[in-house]
Amino acid sequence: MAQTEEPQLYLLTPPAFDLGTFPDRLARVLDAAPIACLRLSLATRDEDTILRAADAIRDVAHARDVALVIDTHVVLAERLGLDGVHLPDGARSVRAARKALGADAIVGSHCGTSRHAGMNAGEAGADYVAFGPVSGALGDGSTAEPELFAWWSEMIELPVVAEGGLDAEHIRSLAPVTDFFALGEEIWQEEDAAAALGDLIAAMR
């Protein structure tokens, strides 16, 4: 049966941000709406930059009871005391991440547009799967179509996240068939990120 509750919000950081100003900006967004989870999603692979960014936002998130996960870096999730990891490679790393981080950690898996990859990730122990982009196509030209989310919410109990290229129209159409919307650049590119988030939340209803 398709889920009928309003989807929850999953927030992504920008791919790069100013450590001096972003924590306050993040706090305003987290105070503006209930956020289920925050993902540190930096473009850099520089470990020092990632460590300092995690330190800058961890307290902001945890003070508001928002779980903080990190893209890809299982070892850093453990070392920094974060709540889990988001893996970009479908089911491939899920078992190893679960073993390293333990049963209580959040382990999520991005599965592109593949129903099969999503099911494999769930069987490997993922707590959620993310499909996307919803628009703005992957390098191979594919997008995650509404039919994929509709099928998943009908057939599979594991929570599903819609991610990538979301706007009010996509959110309106996917709200009945997804559990979470992952929003990042959709709001951070606007001067008032909290207001931009509010506009997208309004589209769910």
DSSP secondary structure string for all residues of 59-92? HHHHTTT-EEEEES-HHHHHHTT-SEEEESSTTT
pLDDT at 2: 41
pLDDT at 138: 67
State the Cα–Cα distance between residues 69 and 85, nearest whole angstrom: 5
Of 108, 114, 183, 116, residue with least CA distance to 144:
114
Contact 134, 174 (CB under 8 A): yes
Query: How far is residue 55 from each of residues 48, 79, 107, 202, measured CA to CA in Å?
Result: 11, 11, 20, 32
Give the DSSP H/E element, type plus range, for residue 161.
strand 160-163
Query: How far is residue 79 from each of residues 57, 63, 107, 152, measured CA to CA in Å?
Result: 15, 19, 16, 34
Which stretches of the chain are DSSP H helices?
22-32, 47-62, 74-79, 94-101, 115-124, 146-155, 168-174, 185-188, 193-204
Contact 40, 69 (CB under 8 A): yes
Regions of the chain with pLDDT less than 50: 1-4
Q: In this structure, which amino acid lies at residue 146?
A: P
pLDDT at 12: 98
Fold of 8-204: TIM Barrel (3.20.20)
State the Cα–Cα distance between residues 86 and 67, nearest whole angstrom: 12
